[in-house]
Amino acid sequence: MTGTNAGFDVRQWFERRTFHAEDFSVADLAQRKADQGVRVSVVLPSFNEGATITGMIHAVRTLEHVLVDEIIVVDGDSTDDTARLAQAAGATVYRDADLAPDLGPTLGKGDALWRSLAVATGDVIAFVDTDIRNPDPHFVWGLLGPLLVEPEVQLVKAFYERPVQMGEVLHSSGGGRVTELTARPLFNLFWPELTGLVQPLSGEYAGRRGLLEAIPFFTGYGVEIGMLIDTLALAGIDAIAQVDLSERVHRNQDVAALSRMSFGIMQVAMKRLADRDHMPDALAELAEHYVQFDRDDEDRAVPVSRHVPIVERPPFRTI
């Protein structure tokens, strides 16, 4: 990585705040954790992940009583046996809507993560997706490494190779399409300090409780980009680090779903631009309905409007 972006030296941040999971040993991190007296929670959001949830929990449990103090599954009313399997594997399972029942139904993954702060007791909290087909303990200890080694770091994002399943063939790369087509252009245009992040939308990240309770959480697809923008504004770019976790194999979504995800990310970006640049009139009324096209029974294109709400939960410490 070379050069600068709008006066910001991306290369210097990248070299200072980029790690690999292999840079850390579990024994050393366990000693640092003990010396610092911190408690670690791992939160696993789930919805119909019966095929992969057990393997993910077993991988995390290899670190139990060493680096991990509690394993929490926040389940979004799975219609398969995800919740039962998670409990059988040794995790503490919560139904996401039960964590803040006065708010009504949970409004997506970001909402579930925000609600999990009510039950996670750790000083450091790691969020790890549960659709991972190649679970391994390094998905957790890699995220914890920068937080236990670098006192200034408050938020750690994962990156990795993301193979794409096309038919029966697993191609070695091609994941991260929303990052490349939506998030990265936005960062290069408006938040150059964040351009050094390899995969800003990754579903694996860890943070200090003080930070996570001090920033808002968007409820939908924009939770990750909102978290990065708000951390940058609150604590500066050196509070953010990233760690290479090698490879993540997971379920890939189709282009229509990725398009809706991009829309949710754009909603958050536009809202934060309005807040930052004091443009409430220009961007106050963000669209919440997204028009796409399906084919009807006669194979004709028909417009379909889908509701993609943008809801921002306040900093948890304020409630």
pLDDT digits (tens, 9 = 90+) for 17-38: 999 999 999 999 999 999 999 9
pLDDT at position 92: 98
Tens of pLDDT, residues 165-209: 544 544 344 447 899 999 999 999 999 999 999 999 999 999 999
Domain boundaries of the chain, sorted by first residue: 12-250
12-250, superfamily in CATH? Spore Coat Polysaccharide Biosynthesis Protein SpsA; Chain A (3.90.550.10)
Q: How far apart are CA 35 and CA 18, in angstroms?
A: 24
Contact 86, 73 (CB under 8 A): yes
Query: Global pTM?
Result: 0.91
Complete DSSP assignment for 125-188 = EEE--S--SS--THHHHHHHHHHHH-TT--EEEEEEE--EEETTEEESS---HHIIIIIHHHHH
